[in-house]
Amino acid sequence: MIEGRIYTYSIINVPTAEFSGKTPYAVLVVELEDGQRMLSRLENFTSEMKLEIGMKVVESGRDDSGNLLFSVV
């Protein structure tokens, strides 16, 4: 299982056509334990969630395109 911390993030409220009807959603830069950083989405994000830089996240699956998804621990 891949683990890391939120390095930075953005909450998307105005979607591209591909994400129409799926807002809001969170896009993250995750800093992995070895120092590498990767772009991902936060799975099961809701507007009530309070995200913070440094929060621990873990791999929680993949989207339809095979990209890793993360969830807050």
Contact in structure between 52 and 30 (CB atoms under 8 Å): no
Q: Work out the pLDDT band at 19, boundaries 50, 70, 90.
A: confident
Q: Residue 16 has what pLDDT?
A: 86
Q: Dihedral sign, CA of 6, 37, 12, 46?
A: negative
Domain with 42 in it: 3-72
- pLDDT for the residue numbered 21: 84
Domain harbouring 11, CATH code: 2.40.50.840
Number of domains in the chain: 1
List pLDDT tens digits, range 26-69.
999 999 999 999 999 999 999 999 999 999 999 999 998 999 99
